[in-house]
Structure formats: structure tokens, C-alpha cells
Amino acid sequence: MNEKRILEELNVSRETLARLEIFEQVIKKWNPKINLVSKSSLELLWSRHIADSVQVFRCVDSPDHWVDIGSGGGFPGLIVAILAADEAPEMKTTLIESDQRKSAFLRTAARECGAKVTVISKRIEKADPQNAKVLSARALADLALLLEYAEQHLAAGGTALFPKGGSWKKEVDNARQRWRFDAEPVKSLTEQEAVILKIKGVARV
């Protein structure tokens, strides 16, 4: 139960908490079959994965279209859609995940939690440009490759949100060899040294 305490800090409503508890049941049912998160981190589902995703949602005002790429077990994209069900019901959420079984999980979990999502079961590079106002990706690729995905799927004037670990500065420096962008590091509440990179104005050098 203490595991959930961090969600109080993140202002999660009772209704959203009830939806997240359904998500917990669904991921625990599917995980042994398709390995959505490591067995050890499943024990820390609330602090390690859910709170980590909620703080990404809290980084921006809700846009009209949020796109999460490489969503896997739904972090942060499906958690974003669950929060939006109560906090931003007009927001459209799209998840891009190439693995068919994970896509099936994402559709099922969204339905059971009462969250509205469109799941595109394709490789990010092959999906039609999404014109996202907000684009997120967690544990997917290094920043230079994420910026290529942003070039393809982020609307002009949109914001990319990429949670990154302690080596984020090195990734930013490397990416600047090929890309121009503004990056604001937002300190993570769930992990020391980690940040959520809030990126705008992506253009090739």
C-alpha cells in the first residue's frame, strides 16, 4: 500500500486511482505471458512505473493529441490516457507499438480501464506522421534517434517529453552534433539524477 503513497503527491483523484487499480490487475495477469516489465520491477509497479508515468503527464498542459511511441506495457502512454479519462476527456491519445502481443495488451487494458486510445501496431518509422502536440517515449532509444522520431511525428510547435537517466547531459551533447533543439530538464520525483527532458524546436543542424 505504501507503494501508492507517491501518487498523493502527484494529485491523482480517487476515480483515476480506481482505474489504475484495474490496470494493475490486467498487467499482473498478462505479464507472465508476455513480459511487459521485469518480474522484479512489477513489485514496484506503483513507484517505479505508474508514478514515473504520471509525472510525465504533469509536465505539460493537456494537449489535443498526445502520442506515445514504443509504449510496451503502457508507460507512459496508457497511464497518460487513464489520467486523461478524468482530467482531459477531449484529449486523443495514440500509442505506437510494433509488437503485436503488446499492442493487444494495450487495447485490452485501455478498454478495461475505461481509457480511450488508438493503438498503431507498426514500427514508428513506418507509421503515418501523427502531428502530435506532445510526443513521449520512455526507455526506447538514445536522444539522437528519439529526435528523428520527433521530426516525423511531432507537430510544429509541439513538445517532446523523454524521461532520461543520469547520463542525460551526455545524450544532449551527442544529439547536438546533428540536431538543434531547446531542452529543459525537469527533475524526476521517482529517481535521483533522472530527468524528464522537455524538448521543443527540433531541427536538423
Ligand X SMILES: C[S@@+](CC[C@H](N)C(=O)[O-])C[C@H]1O[C@@H](n2cnc3c(N)ncnc32)[C@H](O)[C@@H]1O
Residues near ligand X, by CB under 6 A? 70-73, 75, 96-99, 102, 123-125, 138-140
Which CB sits closer to ligand X, 97 or 171? Answer: 97
Cβ at position 70, least distance to ligand X in Å: 3
Cβ at position 7, least distance to ligand X in Å: 18
Residue number of the CB closest to ligand X reads 72
Cβ at position 14, least distance to ligand X in Å: 26
Residue 147 C-alpha cell reads as 529526435
The phi, psi pair for 66, rounded to 5°, reads -110, 130
Residue 182 C-alpha cell reads as 531547446
Cβ at position 41, least distance to ligand X in Å: 9
138 is in an annotated binding site: yes
Residue 75 C-alpha cell reads as 508507460
Which CB sits closer to ligand X, 98 or 176? Answer: 98
Which CB sits closer to ligand X, 23 or 75? Answer: 75
123 is in an annotated binding site: no
Query: The dihedral of CA 117, 151, 76, 82: what is its sign?
Result: negative
- Sheet containing 195-204: which strands, arranged edge to edge? 118-120, 92-96, 65-69, 132-136, 154-164, 195-204, 179-187
CA 186-27-143 angle, to 5 degrees, is 30
162 is in an annotated binding site: no
Query: The dihedral of CA 181, 50, 37, 135: what is its sign?
Result: negative
Which CB sits closer to ligand X, 75 or 179? Answer: 75
The binding site for S-adenosyl-L-methionine consists of: 70, 75, 124-125, 138
Residues marked as binding? 70, 75, 124-125, 138
